[in-house]
């Protein structure tokens, strides 16, 4: 630390006569040594009380991180499943045993200090107490995270989050059924919760999380901003986020980028640096492809809602980003929409998109990338959606989960019933987002009526 400058005396002080007296002697303050002498009876009693309470406090602190019970977050359909609660309890139990052991060490140190309150024994107690307290704080952060997640199911969010859970579960069920093999769905399906922010996000199974003190996430989490829950026709983002988990759980996370790069550089004859950019975008493009096949055209319209921002944000290319350039991302999705049998809609949305962004400068997207964009994008879509994979039981994604004009007819019928407040009948919950978008686009009911009917139909049955 810099030394403070010595104050300069004022002229009046400088002109004073100097004294012949010597300067006063300043005696340095020396910290006192440990307390010497025998303790008085009162002092000993107070020390014994304090030592006794340290282990009591710590033991009760640790016990407050109790297991969750299956009914404490309600018994409605929105409540966390017993499987999710048991998984969290198993995670907390891993820390609870260590806490009990450390607390017993504090208790033993306190007992020893009561028998013989020497400095050495008191300091052993203090060090053990701090180590155990830090461990409790560590576990408490994990406990609090799951408590906050689960307690949302007792609030007005409960019905809405239950709806999101159902849509996510339906995506898993239909994908695994479409495989046509005896491969069971994971027992712990995605769990949704509301949080602040602009965009939805997901935390995949097994990925270390900061909120979990960098322990692996035990089941997929879907985080949704509150405003998204108010706009049900924009919930195609759920399909995108759950698709990240499907990619990982089914084993495609490492397979897709290698397949994309290999095909672009060999069959497509693209330069390696351009092929690498496409391979780098694989997670987000694949999640978009899943979302469109799982939910229908509303996924593209919803994507346009999200990435349709200022030209500076939407058209700017970054070779280091894991997300495709937003302007190009929509065009990639339109390729799949066209291949699924919706050529007219794809053409119309493409013209709208280019009307919003009529010019793309060389400063925004490199010309050599734009020159190869269309053939590369078509090859990437074909690779991801229409080529067989061992992880899909040697089928393609388009064969495992089918979407075409017949499914769109189901969505339109469901949209009309949804607007009228009627039960849509037997329809996959994942289609209901497109149904809500259809009802809103056709102005079949007010936005609030569509929202209320959506949650009443999906959140309670």
Which tens digit of pLDDT belongs to each residue from 79-90?
999 999 999 999
pLDDT in tens, 387-415: 999 999 999 999 999 999 999 999 999 99
Is it the case that residue 13 has pLDDT exceeding 60? no
CA distances from 420 to 255, 403, 410 (A): 45, 25, 16
Distance of CA 2 to the CA centre of its chain: 45
Task: Report the predicted TM-score, pTM, of the whole model to 2 decimal places.
Answer: 0.84
Is it the case that residue 185 has pLDDT exceeding 60? yes
Band (pLDDT 50/70/90 cuts) for residue 339 is very high
pLDDT in tens, 138-175: 999 999 999 999 999 999 889 999 999 999 999 999 99
For the chain, what are the domain ranges? 41-154, 156-231, 406-460
454 contacts 432 by C-beta, under 8 angstroms: yes
Tell me the Ramachandran region of residue 214: left when phi exceeds 0, alpha when psi lies from -120 to 50, beta otherwise: left
Is it the case that residue 323 has pLDDT exceeding 80? yes
CA distances from 357 to 225, 375, 377, 413 (A): 28, 21, 19, 34
């Amino acid at each position: 630390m810099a030394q403070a400058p010595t104050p300069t005396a004022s002229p009046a002080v400088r002109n004073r006569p100097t004294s012949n007296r010597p300067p006063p002697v300043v005696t340095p303050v020396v910290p006192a040594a440990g307390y010497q002498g025998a303790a008085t009876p009162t002092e000993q009693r107070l020390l014994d009380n304090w030592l006794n309470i340290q282990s009591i406090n710590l033991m009760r602190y640790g016990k407050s991180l109790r297991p969750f019970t299956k009914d404490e977050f309600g018994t409605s359909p929105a409540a966390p499943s017993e499987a999710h609660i048991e998984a969290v309890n198993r995670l907390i139990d891993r820390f609870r045993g260590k806490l009990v052991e450390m607390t017993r060490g504090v208790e033993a140190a306190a007992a020893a200090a009561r028998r013989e309150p020497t400095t050495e024994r008191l300091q052993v107690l203090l060090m053990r107490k701090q180590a155990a307290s830090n461990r409790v704080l560590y576990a408490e952060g994990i406990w609090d995270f799951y408590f906050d997640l689960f307690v949302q199911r007792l609030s007005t969010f409960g019905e809405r989050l239950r709806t999101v859970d159902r849509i996510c579960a339906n995506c898993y069920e239909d994908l695994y059924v479409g495989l046509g093999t005896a491969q069971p769905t994971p027992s712990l399906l995605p769990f949704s919760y509301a949080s602040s922010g602009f965009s939805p996000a997901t935390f995949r199974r097994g990925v270390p999380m900061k909120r979990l003190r960098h322990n692996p996430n035990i089941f997929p989490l879907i985080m949704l901003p509150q405003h998204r829950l108010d706009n049900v026709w924009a919930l195609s983002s759920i399909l995108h986020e759950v698709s990240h988990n499907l990619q990982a759980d089914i084993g495609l996370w490492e397979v897709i980028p290698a397949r994309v790069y290999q095909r672009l550089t060999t069959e497509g004859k693209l330069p390696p640096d351009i092929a690498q950019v496409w391979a780098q975008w694989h997670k987000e493009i694949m999640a978009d492809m899943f979302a469109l096949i799982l939910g229908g055209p509303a996924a593209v319209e919803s994507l346009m809602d999200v990435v349709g921002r200022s030209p500076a944000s939407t058209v700017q290319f970054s070779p280091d980003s894991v997300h495709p350039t937003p302007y190009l991302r929509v065009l990639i999705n339109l390729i799949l929409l066209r291949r699924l049998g919706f050529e007219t809609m794809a053409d119309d949305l493409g013209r709208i998109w280019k009307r919003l962004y009529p010019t793309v400068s060389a400063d925004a997207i490199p010309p050599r990338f734009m020159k190869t964009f269309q053939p590369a994008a078509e090859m990437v879509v074909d690779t991801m959606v229409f080529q067989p994979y061992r992880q899909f039981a040697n089928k393609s994604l388009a064969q495992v989960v089918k979407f075409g004009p017949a499914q769109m007819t189901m969505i339109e019928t469901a949209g009309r019933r949804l607007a009228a407040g009627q039960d849509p009948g037997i329809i996959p919950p994942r289609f209901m987002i497109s149904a809500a978008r259809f009802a809103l686009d056709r102005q079949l009911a007010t936005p609030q009526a569509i929202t209320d009917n959506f949650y009443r139909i999906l959140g309670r049955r």
